[in-house]
Amino acid sequence: MQELLAQFAIFIIAAFLGFELISRVPNLLHTPLMSATNAIHGVILVGGMITLAEATDPIIRAVGFVAVIFGAANVVGGFWVTNRMLVMFRPPRPRVKRRRG
């Protein structure tokens, strides 16, 4: 129980620290930072799945399962948003005029 409490405290501290760091990122650096963060989250997600597979306590399995679901949603959503942001920087396609007649 004490180990779970320590892990929960680390989670809370990490959440507050992450919020403070991300809120201070300038807009210019958001897209490259988000791309790198998504790659790191992919590695963390794989580690979470390995840890979940080795868990024996039902509470740890439940919390781990929720963490893996949220982590997967974070990775997929992050790459989706990054792709949409990068589309804004592509040059516009030339329009082809069609003849009427």
Comparing 36 with 75, the larger pLDDT belongs to 75
Domain assignment of residue 15, yes or no: no
Number of domains comprising the chain: 1
Domain assignment of residue 5, yes or no: no
> How many whole angstroms separate alpha carbon 24 and alpha carbon 21?
6
> Which 3 state secondary structure label does DSSP give 90?
coil
Domain assignment of residue 101, yes or no: no
Domain assignment of residue 62, yes or no: yes
* Structural domain for 50, as ranges: 31-88
Task: Give the pLDDT confidence score for residue 101 in this predicted structure.
Answer: 57
Check: CB of residue 55 under 8 Å from CB of residue 64. Answer: yes
Give Cα 32 distance to the centre of its chain.
13
Comparing 9 with 86, the larger pLDDT belongs to 9
> How many whole angstroms separate alpha carbon 47 and alpha carbon 96?
49
Instruction: Tell me the residue ranges of DSSP E strands in the chain.
Output: none
Domain assignment of residue 69, yes or no: yes
The DSSP call for residue 55 is -
24-61, pLDDT tens digit by residue?
877 777 767 777 777 788 888 888 888 889 988 898 88
Domain assignment of residue 56, yes or no: yes
6-21, pLDDT tens digit by residue?
999 999 999 999 888 8
pTM for the predicted model, two decimal places: 0.55
